[in-house]
Structure 1
């Protein structure tokens, strides 16, 4: 993606490089998000190039904003000293 790239020009599906530029991270970081399942993507074509649907990326970004907002509220709350458990594991002492 370059400076003249517009969302309309990119179409429905983004490459890892396009996604990396939008998120301002490296393509390797995007690949890691895809491989972990955190950022849903599909493999297309015989060589299996990863593609990320634009609306999925937008949903991912919104979810990250919401996660950040909730973490901020948690850290500001009066109950911050409480231990947080997930699946029986302490994630926040």
Structure 2
């Protein structure tokens, strides 16, 4: 894994343990901020943007769990 400022979508997929197509879908949808380099669909994601995305995912998950009825959230924690 690289320690460079910018990550490839393969790097993103490895870090998040998802497929390349899922990492591509995240940047195409705008859920994960990335930049397109050149004309051949080369995407790069700044490491800090990936960390922000992960933090937002934790907040979204916590908010969704907080909205569940108590018995459902207890089952989800198991």
TM-score (norm: length of structure 1): 0.69
Runs of 4 or more off by more than 6 Å in structure 1? none
Give the number of the structure whose alpha-carbon radius of gyration is greater: 1
User: How many residues are aligned here?
Assistant: 70
Q: Which runs of 5+ in 2 are unaligned?
A: 71-78
Q: Which protein has the bigger helix share?
A: 2
* Equivalent position SS for 2:68: helix
Q: Which protein has the bigger strand share?
A: 1
- Report whether the alignment pairs 1:44 with 2:37: yes
Q: Within 2, Cα distance between the matches of 1:10 and 1:19? A: 12
Deviation at 1:20, TM superposition (A): 0.2
* Equivalent position SS for 1:31: helix
